[in-house]
Amino acid sequence: MYLLRVGIISAMFMGLAMAPLAYADNDNDGEHGKSGKSNNGNKSWVFNFGALGTTTDALMQQIKILQEELAKLKADKKALSNDDSNDAARAALKVEIKETKSDIKDVRKDLKFLRSLSRGMSGDDVRDLQELLAQDPSLFSPEFITGFFGPRTEAALRLFQKKHGIDSIGIFGPKTQAKILSLFIGRELPFGIIKRLGLEISSTTPGQGFVTLCHKPAGASPQTLVIAIPALGAHLAHGDSVGVCAGGGTPTDTTAPTFSNIAATSITTAGATIQWNTNEGATSQVEYGTTTSYGATTTLNATLVTSHSVAITGLTNGTLYHFRVISKDAAGNSATSGDSTFTTGTPDTTAPIISGLNASSTSATAANVIWATNENASSKVWYGTTTPVTLASPTLNAFNSTLVTNHLLGLSGLTASTTYYYAIETTDAANNTATSSTQSFVQP
């Protein structure tokens, strides 16, 4: 069935984004009066903005599909009209026909709102726009909501457009619609909108709120959940709806997140990264210290994720550390893991170990020097025709700063029938250097 049936979902798309808007007006036009007085701050309103970001062609296609479905349902019902044994089937088809007609009506409402709104127009969509503009009392008063687009509505809309970098033309068109969507996606949730929608305000993340919705998992019964606003878009996309499930009562999420794959990674002499997974979106925080009393806590990351990664820095090298992770879901259920440990690294003070040192001629004027080290290190060859080879003398002829374990450097400009003496120097990442004894080879 048609997924845009839930009006309050659509209201969220607009309502969450347009709190910064101005108030609407009665436009000072006598014939329109002040009928908006009935729309006071306590008015319960539902605004179907599900069509935002949807093209006219897409909505027309939805109407066509629904009309075809309606025709088929009517034909099926008619085929059963002469069979008294199919009363239940006819009743079910009657319900489906009614729901499909309602779906078509909803899509047509969305299609209507795709029209641009400008001064002089009137209708329910104008009133809806005014309701949303009226979220910011500093820009307009809600007592003037009339459903007529007059000078006050235009002025309020211009202020919103100017504030958000849209051409301030006072017409509610595609650019303004797109900006509303971008504000929602950007999670810009002004206090007024959070308050009006009855959302719980987060104590850890400015602008963060929570909302109750009816989650509809495939193959299972709907479940009332409380989620954080950043997760709302994904839930709406797969058919969930804002509000408690029919007959749902209070939210059912009373279960704390569960942990898996807790590990300390990227361990260095002064830090480590703690990683873990949760079975639902949750916050990230780590307690750590040299005992099970911990004593230190990382800064809370309030983003709700299932894959967590928290870096710990400023540790002492060669030290055993205890840690545990803490995650809280959107409903405020918190979980703390058991104790885990890791040991920071010790400073590397050991030079590389050299092995397999050898030199061989490759031509009358060139030769290769090869060797291996037990850890990644740079490569240098010092050489000359006298012994012993003096390191750091001008005879340095070959160098490679790349840290490797298998080394090869080429020597060039050699003289035939000459004995050459050489020594190699190799340095690891911790700046520990090893040098070989003087070696020799005869250039043929």
pLDDT at 242: 66
Residue 4: predicted pLDDT: 32
pLDDT of 197 over the 90 cut: no
Residue 49 clears pLDDT 80, i.e. is over it: no
Residues 50-102 pLDDT 10s: 333 344 555 566 677 878 888 888 888 787 776 666 777 778 888 888 888 87
**Beta strand pairing call for 354-363 and 396-411:** unpaired
162's tokens: 């100017």
pLDDT of 329 reads 87
16 has pLDDT over 60: no
Distance CA 435, CA 383 (A): 13
Cα–Cα distance, 51 to 285 (Å, whole number): 39
- What does DSSP say about strands 354-363 and 223-228: parallel, antiparallel, or unpaired? unpaired
Query: Residue 65: phi, psi to the nearest 5?
Result: -65, -45
218-271 tens-digit pLDDT: 777 777 776 665 566 566 666 777 667 766 555 556 788 999 999 999 999 999
Per-residue model confidence (pLDDT) at position 204: 42
Q: Quote the pTM value.
A: 0.40
